[in-house]
């Protein structure tokens, strides 16, 4: 039986300090004293500057770019806390990197998501709190409990406050940018009481997408593209272009949980027909990613509430709504 402490402590790596501070503020506490840096040869250096003996500790760290550095920071922090006799350690991973490597797509491919799950468990984490895994079955890769938060309710709440939503509810249609995101788009459509369309695509090679056709009538509609992440933005921008040029849509908006935005993503988004992209702040955006087309929505309240529930051994499922 796992016995955890009566005191909660929040620590953070370097991947998303603004979000970690916002979560701590919601919990009416401050981030724990931790020095997380690098030795001169590049090795990760961690020092926990306060006692954690018997405490319920939460380590907030997205494994976003630089993925391997941020992953290693989290592993070393968990190990340090375990060796310092923390009562229970929860790895809070707003964005779980390597989630797209969840199966063998070709012969002799690794299943890196499983390897990362084993590393987190082996480092000493007692449970994981994350949001919108690219493949939900990754929860089964862990031998410890995983609380999997959903981004759709947070995005939906934010979208409902936007003027374009209020003005176009009757003409709004939710669109999945590919077949893999249909389930997520359907959830959004149900919450918005809207219909659903699908962009049917072919991907000749990695990060290259060719639109084939659109399943559903989007002519004269305001489209809302829904995905779990935007990486190079090829899928979302080409899908939006097809909705306008092929489908006859009047306007296209987009939303996603994780704004990875690597490579040519910002150039593609800024030059696209998309009016606005709503993203959650699971990944901290550098200054060069600031754009009038991107609107960030914070996940601090839902993560703070989940942390409170875990600490009190209360259900987290209420947050799924």
Distance in angstroms between the alpha carbons of the first and the last residue of the chain: 30
DSSP one-letter code for 77 = H
Catalytic residues: 201
Does residue 253 have a cis peptide bond before it, meaning omega lies within 30 degrees of 0?
A: no
In this structure, what are the phi and psi dihedrals at residue 223, rounded to the nearest 5 degrees? -100, 140
How many CA atoms, within 13 angstroms, populate the side-chain half-sphere of residue 319?
A: 24
Is the separation of the CB atoms in 79 and 124 below 8 Å? Answer: yes
In this structure, what are the phi and psi dihedrals at residue 118, rounded to the nearest 5 degrees? -65, -40
Does residue 84 have a cis peptide bond before it, meaning omega lies within 30 degrees of 0?
A: no
Is the separation of the CB atoms in 231 and 265 below 8 Å? Answer: yes
Is the separation of the CB atoms in 283 and 62 below 8 Å? Answer: yes
């Amino acid at each position: 039986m796992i016995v955890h402490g009566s005191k909660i402590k929040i620590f953070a790596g370097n991947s998303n300090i603004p979000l970690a501070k916002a979560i701590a503020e919601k919990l009416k506490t401050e981030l724990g004293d931790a020095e997380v840096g690098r030795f001169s040869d590049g090795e990760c250096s961690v020092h926990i500057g306060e006692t954690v003996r018997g405490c319920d500790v939460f380590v907030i760290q997205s494994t976003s770019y630089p993925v391997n550095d941020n992953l290693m920071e989290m592993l070393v922090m968990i190990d340090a806390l375990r060796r310092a006799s923390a009562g229970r350690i929860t790895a809070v991973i707003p964005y779980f990197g390597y989630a797209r490597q969840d199966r063998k797509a070709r012969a002799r491919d690794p299943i890196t998501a499983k390897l990362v799950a084993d590393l987190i468990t082996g480092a000493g984490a007692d449970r994981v709190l994350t949001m919108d895994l690219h493949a939900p079955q990754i929860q089964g890769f862990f031998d410890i409990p995983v609380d999997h938060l959903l981004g759709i309710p947070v995005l939906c709440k934010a979208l409902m406050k936007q003027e374009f939503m209020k003005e176009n509810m009757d003409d709004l249609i939710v669109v999945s940018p590919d077949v893999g995101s249909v389930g997520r788009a359907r959830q959004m459509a149900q919450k918005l009481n809207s219909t659903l369309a699908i962009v049917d695509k072919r991907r000749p090679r990695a990060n290259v997408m060719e639109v084939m056709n659109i399943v559903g009538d989007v002519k004269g509609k305001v489209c809302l593209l829904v995905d779990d992440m935007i990486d190079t933005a090829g899928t979302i921008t080409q899908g939006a272009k097809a909705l306008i040029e092929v489908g006859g849509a009047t306007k296209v908006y987009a939303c996603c949980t994780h704004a990875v935005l690597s490579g040519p993503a910002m150039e593609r988004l800024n030059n696209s027909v998309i009016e606005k992209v709503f993203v959650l702040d699971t990944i901290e955006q550098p200054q060069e990613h600031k754009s009038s087309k991107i609107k960030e929505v914070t996940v601090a309240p839902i993560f703070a509430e989940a942390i409170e529930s875990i600490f009190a051994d209360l259900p987290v499922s209420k947050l799924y709504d």
